[in-house]
Amino acid sequence: MSTHDAIKDALIAVAILNLVVSVAVASSSAYSGRQKMLQILVIWVVPVAGALLLGLFMLTRRGNAPRTGYPSERSEDIGQIWSGLHPPDQKH
């Protein structure tokens, strides 16, 4: 399974979980209409807000990351670097 497939599957799982919990909140008789609406809003906004905040954090820290020692050729497959298929100082 590729990283792309894993991310896609994780996003689908989160969407399904959010949908199931949203339906459970909407059908609950324990909350008023306003409470239901606010809780459903939180269910859907928190994952998006978390992703945005972490994405912005990563963008602001991009220039401050320590050097890894890996070759910096633009044509390199980043998946190979992350999976450790070649040592940092080895040219290929």
**What tens-digit pLDDT sequence spans the chain (92 residues)?**
788 999 899 999 999 999 999 999 999 999 999 999 999 999 999 988 988 888 888 888 776 656 665 555 554 555 555 555 555 555 55
- Angle at which helix 3-27 crosses helix 33-61, to 10 degrees, equals 160
Q: What was the pLDDT predicted at 25? A: 95
Q: What was the pLDDT predicted at 65? A: 57
Q: How many domains are there within the chain? A: 1
One-letter identity of residue 48: V
Residue 83 lies in a domain: no
Can you read off the two tokens belonging to residue 67? 């050097």
Residue 54 lies in a domain: yes
- Rounded to whole angstroms, the Cα distance separating 78 from 80 reads 5
What are 57-63's contacts with CB under 8 Å, separation 24+?
Answer: none
Residue span of the structural domain in which 27 resides = 3-61
Q: Is the overall model pTM greater than 0.85, yes or no?
A: no
